[in-house]
Chain A
Amino acid sequence: MTMKQWLLPSLFASTCLFSIAAGAGPIEKYSPVTADRLKNPEPGNWMLYRRTYDGQGYSPLNQINTSNVKDLVPVWTFSTGVVEGHQSPPVVNNGVMFVTTPQGQVIALNAKTGDEYWRYKRQLPDDLFQLHPTNRGVGLWQDKLYLATTDDHVVALDAKTGKVLWDTKVQDYKKGQYLTLMPLVVDGKIIVGGSGGEFGIRGYVVAYDADTGKELWRTFTIPGPGEPGHETWSGDDWKSGGAPAWMTGNYDIETRTIYWGTGNAAPWPGETHPGDNLYATSVLALDPDNGKIKSYFQYHQNDSWDWDEVDAPMLVDLQRDGRTIKSLIHPGRNAIFWVLERKPEGIKYVAGWPFVHTDVWKGIEPNGKPIVDPAHKPGIGKRVEFCPSLWGGKDWPSAAYSQNTRLVYVPANENFCGGFTGEKLPLVPGQLWLGTKPEDIGLKVRWGATHFGELQAWDPATGKKVWSHNFPKSHLFGSVTVTAGDLVLVGGTNDRMFRAFHAKTGELLWEQKTNSGIVGMPVAYEVDGTQYIAVQSGWGVDAQRIQDALATQNDVGVENNVPQGGVVWVFAVKK
């Protein structure tokens, strides 16, 4: 046995895993999650990343609404005991709540009382390099849960006990491969996409059998030799060109098509990877049965700005130009609000407009290709500034669509610009490979800016902004949820507030200060006839990075005082 063979089993032993039953567990009554329940979820449950497969982030519950939200009070809280960015939605299935935390923990709670049933703690390897130490939630299927981990495994747990049922290694964390997303569950397939664009990986989406953890298919987001699109890469760039797929996709039930967003090309300066670079910064239409790419739309070519477009577009039936458009709506990190159409022959461009200030685009061609201003495109050996910053007009935190108001609510960042000096640097597996020195990355506030964060309401039918709420002292870095009670729920600011806005007018109706800042996704659910609102507070990751960068700019006057530590907050209307 060589030394390497000997090392492998010992490595596995050091990363193995267990769950701790605690408090009220195990769960006695559990409602198995079926394909039908995921396709048509009960109004009181939140079982997918954005509640429904269309990714709208809309709850049909209206017991809490614009008239009584002022009486919303915390009914229970739960400290996770973990620091860093708590980004997952509290997932709720008939009275049982599952939250995930950074560092691969899953906690099962009684959604009514906050009592803990059990907790799974992943034992992460000591030498793990976690650039984004976070997790965005568990996928549900039958009586199992699925967790994607930062040491690049997918783990199946027994929903009632937290016991590990299978554990599949996806790729090698030592090469910068990691996972942060909530798995997408479609008809017994557990589908995840890889993170690691900043380590020079080749992105992919992969499906596993829900019962066994066996790999069913894997589709690389950069085509290999002989595959369509390969010609958009030069030489061997495709092997390390990024295009990660680190956010959960959405799913069109009617056509059985998954829509999955992809991230930037690697390393950052486009000169280091000449070509259009398919399928980086795109949305892919995938067949859930075999992973085949049916169609795609690339939001921008030859990415040079680190603009991941991983947040999957929302599926919306849109009344526009006198007809119903089966649309895809994506407020992009590249500052363009995209309206696309799901046509039988593939994804087609309908309209696009900037939703925050940008100096990178000079317009959009009729086919949807944005026209770049070369003065604001980073290159090798020169410092280039561009707006918005590399975190974009809207990063991964999700927008929401209300079926009541027919508006799209966008957690936007305005007035931030950035820049860096591009460099050609050798790829060292497992080391950051950005194409610039990390310390050279800049974030600047535009001169004369009166605010940074902006919650925006857009009418996708007309392209008009209907209202916006500005945050003068904070960026906005949290997902938005909207309810049939016409409440727009969002955290995301550095003052630790959780807020409810009037979906029609943008009026601030309610706010509550929490323990930390909120980068988690709010949800609405119901148990025994009572509606609740839940969100995790726990600041960290990129929200913290932007905050730190702002705090060092004296003239901006933002204090860096956001405490860390995760708490699940659950609210109801005071009776």
Chain B
Amino acid sequence: MSSPSDQTRRTIILTALATAVHASAPRSVAAEEDAPGSDLRPQKADVLVFAEGDHAGEVITPQDLNPGGPAVRAWPKDPKTSVVRKGSRLNEVVVVKLDPAELDDSTRPRSADGVVAYSAICSHAGCPITAWGKAAQGEKDVLKCVCHNSEFDPRQSAQVVFGPAPRRLAALPLAIADGSLTVAGTFVGKAGAQQGG
């Protein structure tokens, strides 16, 4: 049992946190939805920005990523208009930096400095890919969708290595321009789930 003063303090912290979330989230989401181009799929020459964490919104460079993972969630951003393409969740991607020697022949040309990018929307039922960790079978770290435990190997075009997902994640070709990760082409494959989620 916590003391009354603990309880009060905790309540205050929680209330402040909840208020901050409620006050800021709807406004920023609405603004993102309204921005022209925000729901366009990633476009060539878009930069990638962190989707979450302390550096949310900042442009990602290969040096920001740890070799061997973890994967990080990112949004494409139009460098000319500065619009982050958050208007559709189908635009979110995951990026991970790997040893280029590990990448297979179809993956390597889409990578930049060992960094590969894939749609963050699971091809099974549309959950976001949130985890990076050891595969259910084998020792390698893989992209994981924890909703129903699907796993995708980013070294092999994100092919399904475990779980119910029916097909690979859409790949996003990358390049490096001015030291930043940029989009080198449109999605290869369909971003999103097998049937409407």
- Residues on A facing B (Cβ under 8 Å): 2-4, 7, 15, 83-84, 103, 122-131, 133, 150-151, 234-237, 239-240, 271-274, 424, 426-432, 437-439, 441, 540-541, 544-545, 548-549, 551-552, 564
Contact = CB atoms under 8 A, between A and B. Distances in A.
A544 B145 CA distance: 14
Contact of A3 (B34, B146, B197): B34
A538 to B, nearest CB: 12
B197 A272 contact: no
B192 A552 contact: no
Nearest to A271: B10
Contacts of B163: 548
A83 B146 contact: no
A125 B146 contact: no
A131 B196 contact: no
Nearest to B7: A274
Given A124-B197, A439-B133, A131 B90 contact: no
B18 interface: yes
Nearest to A441: B146
Interface string B29-65: 1100111100100000000000000000000000000
Nearest to B29: A429
B197 A236 contact: no
Contacts of A540: 148, 164
Given A83-B164, A129-B197, A151-B196, A235 B11 contact: yes
Nearest to A234: B11
A235 B136 CA distance: 42
A128 B196 contact: yes
B19 A123 contact: no
A54 B163 CA distance: 38
Ordered nearest first, which 5 A-B pairs have the shortest CB separation? A124-B196, A128-B197, A235-B15, A438-B146, A439-B131
Interface in B125-176: 125-128, 130-131, 133, 136, 144, 146-149, 163-164, 166
A477 to B, nearest CB: 14
A235 B14 contact: yes
Contact of B125 (A122, A133, A273, A274): A133
Nearest to B147: A131
A427 B197 contact: no
Contacts of B36: 3
A77 B33 CA distance: 47
B131 A438 contact: yes
A540 to B, nearest CB: 7
A83 B90 CA distance: 22
A124 B39 CA distance: 18
A427 B21 contact: yes
Contact of A130 (B25, B90, B125): B125
Contacts of A3: 33-36
Contacts of A544: 148-149, 164
Given A234-B11, A274-B7, A545 B148 contact: yes
B197 A4 contact: no
A151 B197 CA distance: 9
Given A127-B197, A430-B89, A439 B15 contact: no
A15 B133 CA distance: 35
A150 B147 CA distance: 15
Given A274-B11, A439-B130, A439-B144, A130 B29 contact: no
Contact of A126 (B22, B90, B146): B90
Contact of B195 (A4, A103, A235, A549): A103
Contacts of A83: 164, 166
Given A429-B29, A439-B133, A237 B148 contact: no
Interface of B: 7, 10-11, 14-15, 17-22, 25-26, 29-30, 33-36, 39, 88-90, 121, 125-128, 130-131, 133, 136, 144, 146-149, 163-164, 166, 192-193, 195-197
Contacts of A240: 18
A127 B85 CA distance: 14
Contact of B25 (A4, A234, A428, A548): A428
A150 B164 contact: no
Given A130-B197, A439-B146, A4 B33 contact: yes
Nearest to A438: B146
Given A4-B34, A427-B21, A549-B149, 18 more contacts: A83-B166, A125-B197, A127-B88, A130-B197, A131-B127, A151-B197, A236-B19, A239-B18, A240-B18, A274-B11, A427-B18, A429-B29, A431-B128, A438-B146, A439-B130, A544-B148, A548-B149, A551-B136
A128 B193 contact: yes
21 contacts: A3-B34, A3-B36, A15-B196, A103-B195, A103-B196, A126-B90, A126-B197, A129-B89, A129-B126, A130-B125, A130-B126, A130-B193, A236-B15, A236-B18, A239-B22, A274-B11, A424-B17, A426-B17, A430-B89, A544-B164, A548-B136
Contacts of A427: 18, 21-22, 25
A2 B26 CA distance: 17
A130 B130 CA distance: 15
Contacts of A545: 148-149
A274 to B, nearest CB: 6
Highest count of chain B CB atoms <10 Å: which of A274, A441, A544: A274
Contact of B14 (A124, A150, A272, A441): A272
Highest count of chain B CB atoms <10 Å: which of A236, A428, A430, A432: A236
B14 A131 contact: no
Nearest to B197: A128
B33 A7 contact: yes
Nearest to B39: A7
A236 B164 CA distance: 38
Contacts of A124: 195-197
B30 A4 contact: yes
A14 to B, nearest CB: 9
A236 B22 contact: yes
A235 B25 CA distance: 18
Contacts of A431: 128
A424 B130 CA distance: 17
Contact of A426 (B21, B128, B193, B196): B21
Nearest to A121: B195
Contacts of B166: 83
A151 B17 CA distance: 29
B106 to A, nearest CB: 25
B88 A564 contact: no
Nearest to A551: B136
A507 to B, nearest CB: 35
